[in-house]
Amino acid sequence: CSMRQGKWEKKAYGKGFEVSGKTLGIIGFGRIGQAVARIANALGMKVLAYSRSHRPEGETLAAYVDLDTLLSSSDVVSLHCPLFPETENLINAETIAKMKDGAILINTSRGKNVDEQALLDALNSGKLRGAGLDVFADEPATNKALYNHPMVSCTPHIGAATMEAQKRIGAEIVEIIRNF
């Protein structure tokens, strides 16, 4: 942060991006996707959801749509799906082409759900305005061009790195073992 160096570079950060009134498309609408939808609703966003399984409780949080509709209608696309053969490289050159020009992609699910080269190409061409990444195809991340890209905000897979999240994970594991 340049402020730590005593600089006040307000104009260097360009124009902001308000989320209120924007459309958030959530791919994977389980527990985490629904939690994100609650936050997005509170921020005044329209929320669309695409999921392999239609969960009736999610209907109060988002409108369920097909993947193409979600991609073409969303200002921000957020991934919350597990890694299965059918979700590997789910976001690729073809699906990115269906996204709105200037959209933002957020991936906090699994790194291999996104074709990193296709994402990098979309960022470089201006097709996508930015990306937020907490997960990468290889971890620790090796794609320097991607994690050093000026339009990428990234963290080193810390989505569940809180004491509260670790307690929940531990409780879930105990419950799975107990049920087994």
| pLDDT tens column, 105-129 | 999 999 999 999 999 999 999 999 9
pLDDT confidence of residue 43:
97
Alpha carbon 91 to chain centroid, angstroms: 11
List phi, psi (to 5°) of 95.
-75, -35
Query: Which residue in this structure is represented by tokens 């929320």?
Result: 47
Which residues carry out catalysis? 110, 139, 157
pLDDT at 4 over 90: no
52 or 14: which leads in pLDDT: 52
Q: Are 153 and 130 in contact (CB under 8 A)?
A: yes
Structure tokens at 69: 């509709």
pLDDT at 13 over 90: no
Q: Are 40 and 25 in contact (CB under 8 A)?
A: no
Q: CA torsion angle for 148, 120, 22, 112 (degrees, to 10)?
A: -100
